[in-house]
Structure 1
Amino acid sequence: MMKKMLFIGLCGLCIQPASAVYFDSIIYDMDASKDFISRPLVNDTSSNNLYTISAYKIARPGNGNERPVPGQDKDLVWSPLLFTVQANGQEYFKLYNRGPGDDIERYYRVIFKETPVTVFPWRMEQKKLNIVPSVSMSTILIVRPRKTRFQYEINEATGTIKNTGNTFFRVILQKGCNGD
């Protein structure tokens, strides 16, 4: 048992801190009054990386295995399609909503594919294979309806809040001034 703990401890000393792309949020929301949002994508690695963006409409956010909703290919567009971010740098991307101006909230899974920019040396013998890792990460975009209706019901007896409107809202619970 002691050897096992020593081995795990030594392995922990060899672990390097992880560096990768990161976003300022896992979930983005686009307000009803906006046609687009612009957000930073930060590369905190020591190498330049190439990024591509893709997205598809989903019925509701879930565990990442949502099925795409067919026929909604042009409702959400993005820019740029392909871009590089310098080592320890950041670039902005934009998501444009071109969907209908109705009272329905829409959800999209936005996927970012990261590939290191690598130069391979020229070789006389071209039979060797070069492998470049590629990582995909995703976020959720919630597009609020153009005709937003914030509405809710509070049941103090059961301590529940029910959303009866057509868009999400966040609830922040805090104790009162007297600690109640």
Structure 2
Amino acid sequence: MKKHLLPLALLFSGIPPAQALDVGDISSFMNSDSSTLSKTIKNSTDSGRLINIRLERLSSPLDDGQVISMDKPDELLLTPASLLLPAQASEVIRFFYKGPADEKERYYRIVWFDQALSDAQRDNANR
């Protein structure tokens, strides 16, 4: 078994790292004494990307958490919600909490959709 691990390791060591949209840490926290949060996203690819961002409120951060409606439509805002990110570039996304100022924990999911600009142009041409 050990004989096969070395050739396998050597085989995979020659694979270049995957290039993709880097959104940083999976989890981010906004303390109760703050109402803003910033996340830097990076495009490590060699082509521009169209990025759309959507927010969902969750009943729980666990696997069985369900998407629930926000108390107000402007409970959590972000800017920009969509952007064109050039190759090898980065951008700061800002989140603004405008909901109730109480001691209740709330959970949100940030949903990132990214698409190569060449794919987006092809999709628009087919419409």
TM-score bracket for this pair, using the shorter chain length:
0.7 to 0.9
Q: Which residue of 2 aligns with 1:69?
A: 68
**How many Å separate the matches in 2 of 1:84 and 1:24?**
18
Q: Which residue of 2 aligns with 1:167?
A: none
Displacement of 1:40? 0.5
Q: Which residue of 2 aligns with 1:46?
A: 46
Q: Which residue of 2 aligns with 1:111?
A: 111
Instruction: State TM-score, norm by structure 2.
Output: 0.77
Cα distance 1:34–1:120, how it changes in 2: closer, same or farther (>3 A)? Answer: closer
Q: Which amino acid aligns with 2:65?
A: E
Aligned residues: 117
**How many Å separate the matches in 1 of 2:119 and 2:109?**
32
SS at match of 2:95: strand
Q: Which residue of 2 aligns with 1:35?
A: 35
Displacement of 1:98? 0.9
Q: Which runs of 5+ in 1 are unaligned?
A: 122-129, 132-180
Q: Which residue of 2 aligns with 1:95?
A: 95
> Identity, % of aligned pairs?
22
Displacement of 1:16? 3.7
The RMSD of aligned alpha carbons is 2.7
Cα distance 1:36–1:45, how it changes in 2: closer, same or farther (>3 A)? Answer: same
Cα distance 1:46–1:56, how it changes in 2: closer, same or farther (>3 A)? Answer: same
Q: Which residue of 2 aligns with 1:26?
A: 26
Q: Which has the higher contact order (CA 8 A, sep 6+)?
A: 2
**How many Å separate the matches in 2 of 1:13 and 1:94?**
37
Q: Which amino acid aligns with 1:88?
A: Q
Displacement of 1:24? 2.5
User: Does the CA-based 8 Å contact 2:48-2:84 persist in structure 1?
Assistant: yes
Q: Which amino acid aligns with 1:97?
A: Y
Structure with the bigger percentage of helix: 2
| 1:135-164 Cα shifts (integer Å, max 9, x gaps) | xxxxxxxxxxxxxxxxxxxxxxxxxxxxxx
Q: Which runs of 5+ in 2 are unaligned?
A: none
